[in-house]
Every structure is written in structure tokens, then in C-alpha cells.
Amino acid sequence: MKVAVVTGGSRGIGAATVTKFAKEGYTVIAVYNNGRQQAEAISAKLNDMGCDVHPMHADLSDPKQIADLFAQIGTYFKKIDVLVNNAAMSVSGLMQDIDLQTLDKIWAVNARAPYLCCANALPLLQKNTNAAVVNVSSVWGLWGASCEAAYSMTKHAVVGLTRSLAEEWNDVPVRVCCVCPSFVRTDMTAHYTEQDIALFEREYGVRAYTPEEVATDIYALAVHGENGTIKMEK
């Protein structure tokens, strides 16, 4: 049995990643916060197909809930083969318009949570000889843009975490990789018009991705990605 843990597993990239790993034969823990109905529906659908998916709740802005989550995983599943740190929140706006509460929340979910998930998962990852962590960043974790300072800051942190742990865990051994999607068609981006997307593609020289395409790249990195790989999706 191979075990994959996917945070933010109820929708978008996370739901597609849960589906990809489940169909590849993994036992998948789909971690959700607010998306209980979606996580349970996805799990039920996949389990009806013969897969093995388990929705588990955790508010990843709360360090105690992160610790409790991985304690539960250790109790019931004993190990982790793949950890996908996908959960994130998005906020756009001028720096002076982002209040401190929002800034603290996006930092806790997007940057601190992947760090703490890695720390809590490490003993379970070490029970394997080819374990992997795949962090989900963004092109804004490599670039910057007006009105994206808060979000971009957190996604740069994810890239930094990946590069640092790839060095720190080189002898563990646990491979640590990162995928940096550009525009992805999810419910988080549903408010953008086709004209907005076309403008984004022209301005930045990238194309819009589907969640399934990103999930395929996440799976490839998890299975045979070289330690420290930062994959930018253009």
C-alpha cells in the first residue's frame, strides 16, 4: 500500500490530484477545511470505482490541528509515501488595502502550513526509501506583480522551503520538489473572463492550465522527480 496525503483536497488542483493518485493505486488522504461536502463526494465517487480515498478535516492555519492530523495518519496508515502541500488561499489588492488579519491568515495557510506539514510528516515519510514531498507554489512564487504582494510573498516562501529542504533532507532521504502553475482554471479563478485569461497569456507568455494537467505534473514529480526540482508551468 502506498499512501498519499493531499492538502486542499476538496476542489481544484487538490481534487484533481486526489483523483490522479487514487487512480494510480494509492491510498489517498484528502485533507479539507471548508469543503467537507466536496471532499466526501469526491471520495465516495472514487471509492465506488474501487479506489481507496479518505477525507480528513484540518484547519491548516492552526498548528495543533496540523499536529493532530499527522498523528491520526500515523495511527491509521503508519506511513506516508507522498505529501502534496497544495492548500492555499488567494488575496489580491494594493499593499495598503490588505489588513493585518488577512495578511496573517494567508501567511499561516500558504507558507507556515506547508512548513509544519513537512515537519510533522517527516517521521512517516522516513519509513520509505523513495518518499517525496511536492509543494504547490505559483508563477507568483518566481515572479512578482502589482496587487499580488501578499500572495506572491507566501508563494516565494514555498519555493524557498522546497530548495532548503531538498538540501536538508538529501540524506534522509526524502525528495522535495515544487510545481509553479501559471493560470489554472479553478473555482478560485472563475471570476476571470476569457478576455482576462487571454490578456494574461499574452502579457506573461504562459497559457491557462486545467487542474488535471497540474495534477499530472505533481504525480510525475512525486514518482520520479529529481530532488530540488522547481517546475514552472508555462
Cell of 108: 499561516
The question of whether 151 is a catalytic residue gets the answer: yes
H or E stretch at 136:
strand 131-136
Catalytic residue of the set 151, 192, 204, 219: 151
Distance of CA 25 to the CA centre of its chain: 20
Residue where the block lists cell 494567508: 106
Q: Check: CB of residue 88 under 8 Å from CB of residue 109.
A: yes
Local structure of 39: helix, strand or coil: helix
CA nearest to 119, candidates 77, 60, 76:
60
Burial grade of 213 (CB within 10 A; 0-12, 13-18, 19 or more):
middle
**What angle, 0 to 180 degrees and rounded to 10, lies between the N-to-C axes of helices 211-224 and 12-23?**
50
Q: Check: CB of residue 134 under 8 Å from CB of residue 221.
A: yes
Cell of 226: 529529481
Active site residues: 151
